[in-house]
Structure 1
Amino acid sequence: MRLTNKKIETLRVSIANVLNNVLEWQIEEIKFISNGVNNAVFLIREKNLGMLAIRTPWRTEGNLNDINLSGMISLKKEATICEHCHKYILVPKVHKLYLGEEINFLVSDFVSGDAKEIPSYDVGKLTSKIHKIPLDDLSIIDQKERTLTNIISHRITERVHSLSKLINNSIIIPSSEEMEAILNSSQTENSLLHLDVRPPNLIRENGIIKGIIDWDNAYIGNPIMELMRISESKELIEEEFLKGYDDVDIIENTDEVIQSIYRLDTALMLSILFTSYINDSVKRDYYFKRVRFLSQEINNTL
């Protein structure tokens, strides 16, 4: 589904109405600046707070109750994690989480940037800082009491089923219980994981990182998951990234089968992405091969 101009205007009017009439802010300007798969972003200027960014869910197809719940969870997750991380790393300061009957949105500082490339070394440094953030009483709303190992092992099973239907071919993997037991054998301490560390989610200016956004995929778990996702996604220069990351020894100290299971989760996701949502046959075929290879590697250990 495409975000239409009509929908943009409906969102803009709804946001302006809440800000002016419900929250009693003094809005001098509001304009649409971008959108992703699920969220639209508006820029506002408030008389006392200055320039702010507003993120609001825009998709309307499917079950409306499910979409509203999903959008609400996404905003709560972003707000909770940003507020927790604000004193440790550069994230936009949260000003207001508004959850209403007609619209939900999150208001944060607007951080300007440009499209200049960021050194992968610096991204490694930032990722290392994220993994060192004290967890304290941080709770991830869509993780609840589940472990990352439980989430990933079941997600892999679901993704294998989805991909097998798409390509009309079976993919053999261990049971989710077997994979979870393997992942649970790791002795690495849990960390906060962003799990979508890539250029589009990094606000940068003149090659310097000014902030990281979009915590939709974030969980608490083994940092090896993050490192394998970054390696498998190939959106950064891995060698340079690892030079910036402070604790690369955890890779050497982690069994290869654990690394392969976390890699498989990402390879499956990208296979489905380039099959169903983005028409890129080269990347699709590459990740098909990665899924086959990783599945075989995992099966060979059992």
Structure 2
Amino acid sequence: MNLTKVKIEELLISIHHVLTNHLNWKVDEISFLANGVINAVFLVKEKNLGKLAIRTPWRSEENMMDKHSSGVISLKKEAAISEHCQKYHIPVPKVHLLYLSDDINFLVSEFVLGDDQEISSFEIGILTSQIHKVPLDGLSIIDQNEQTLSSIIAHRIAERAQTLSQLINTNIVIPSTEEMEAILNTSQTNNSLLHLDVRPPNLIGKNGRIQAILDWDNAFIGDPIMELMRISESQEIAEKEFLKGYKDVAIIENTKEIIQSIYRLDTALMLSILFISFIQDSRKRGHYLKRVNGLSQEIKKYTG
């Protein structure tokens, strides 16, 4: 399912109707900016508030990549985590309004202006470290539901492996969810807030400095090794430079390879499904299918 011009226009009209008729805002202009896998983003110019960014889910619930995903959950997570991060000076857009209804759901945030200058992987490493050091201070992630990250990842790997097996008509052999969860639970690293989608498209920069980090759809509380393995496996950031900025590389050195491999497998499975079903890219699809096979074999050696 792709975001069509017809769907963009439908969303634009719905948002404009709510802003002007339900909220009595004075909208001077509204235009489509971009979209991700879950949300479309619109730029609104409002007479009193100025430029605003509005995120709204565009993909139907049944067409989400993970069956536990939800457009409403996406917006609620973004709002709650952004408000929490702002208290600790993490650069996130200020949230103005979360609007939920039977007709349309959207989140209104400050519009942060950036430029095309590249943000260094070193700077991204510094920011990721700062996020991992944010006090949790009672923060609750709506779709974590008091589950441990170990439990979530173990079950998600099983679900993703089943989905990918069906897509490629090949059985992917992995340990049981109980075995994977038990292995992940042996990690000695303290829990942190994890963004879990740290990459250039989710960062707004100006003059090479980060102005804001967006898109907390994937966020959880748990082992920061998960974040580091996802960044490494995704290959969208220069890893050596990133780790220089992150600094605390000892947590990787002190984490068992089997734990690292399980977290990597979760990412490789997700990217394989992404490049088969959602984004047509044969090169990346082939790469991540090989990674799934290789990581599955590595994990099998440890677990027998």
TM-score (norm 1): 0.94
After superposition, the C-alpha distances for 1:17-76 in whole angstroms (9 at most, x for unaligned) are 222222222222222222222222111122221111111112348489xx9x92111111
1:201 shift after superposition = 0.3
Over 3 Å counting, the alpha-carbon distance change for 1:58 and 1:225 in structure 2 is same
SS at match of 2:197: coil
Match of 2:263 in 1: 262
Greater mean alpha carbon deviation, residues 130-139 or residues 276-285: 276-285
Match of 2:44 in 1: 44
Q: CA RMSD for the aligned pairs? A: 1.9
1:216 shift after superposition = 0.3
Match of 1:211 in 2: 212
Cα distance between partner residues in 1 of 2:132 and 2:125 = 11
Cα distance between partner residues in 1 of 2:295 and 2:61 = 35
Q: What amino acid is the match of 1:219?
A: F
After superposition, the C-alpha distances for 1:238-292 in whole angstroms (9 at most, x for unaligned) are 0000000031110011111101100111111112222223332222222222112
Q: What amino acid is the match of 2:133?
A: K
Cα distance between partner residues in 1 of 2:108 and 2:199 = 23
SS at match of 2:81: helix
Over 3 Å counting, the alpha-carbon distance change for 1:38 and 1:135 in structure 2 is same
Match of 1:113 in 2: 114
Alignment of 1:159-178 (within 5 A): 159-178=160-179
Cα distance between partner residues in 2 of 1:164 and 1:28 = 50
After superposition, the C-alpha distances for 1:114-145 in whole angstroms (9 at most, x for unaligned) are 23221100000000000001101111111111
Contact 2:61 2:71 (C-alpha < 8 Å) held by counterparts:
no
Over 3 Å counting, the alpha-carbon distance change for 1:267 and 1:60 in structure 2 is closer
Greater mean alpha carbon deviation, residues 176-185 or residues 166-175: 166-175
Over 3 Å counting, the alpha-carbon distance change for 1:257 and 1:63 in structure 2 is closer
After superposition, the C-alpha distances for 1:143-178 in whole angstroms (9 at most, x for unaligned) are 111111001001111111122222222222110100
Cα distance between partner residues in 2 of 1:182 and 1:237 = 29
Greater mean alpha carbon deviation, residues 240-249 or residues 291-300: 291-300
Match of 1:141 in 2: 142
Specify every segment of 5 or more residues in structure 1 that has no aligned partner in the other structure, as ranges.
Answer: none
Cα distance between partner residues in 2 of 1:5 and 1:117 = 30
SS at match of 1:97: strand
Alignment of 1:69-84 (within 5 A): 70-84=70-84
Specify every segment of 5 or more residues in structure 2 that has no aligned partner in the other structure, as ranges.
Answer: none
Cα distance between partner residues in 1 of 2:62 and 2:150 = 30
User: Percent of aligned pairs with the same residue?
Assistant: 69
Match of 1:300 in 2: 301
Q: What amino acid is the match of 1:25?
A: W
Q: What amino acid is the match of 1:291?
A: V
Over 3 Å counting, the alpha-carbon distance change for 1:8 and 1:169 in structure 2 is closer
1:2 shift after superposition = 3.0
SS at match of 2:70: helix
TM-score (norm 2): 0.93
Match of 2:27 in 1: 27
Cα distance between partner residues in 2 of 1:159 and 1:242 = 28
SS at match of 2:25: coil
Cα distance between partner residues in 2 of 1:79 and 1:293 = 38
Cα distance between partner residues in 2 of 1:274 and 1:7 = 23
Cα distance between partner residues in 2 of 1:103 and 1:189 = 39
Contact 2:205 2:211 (C-alpha < 8 Å) held by counterparts:
yes
Alignment of 1:1-302 (within 5 A): 1-60=1-60, 62=62, 70-87=70-87, 88-302=89-303
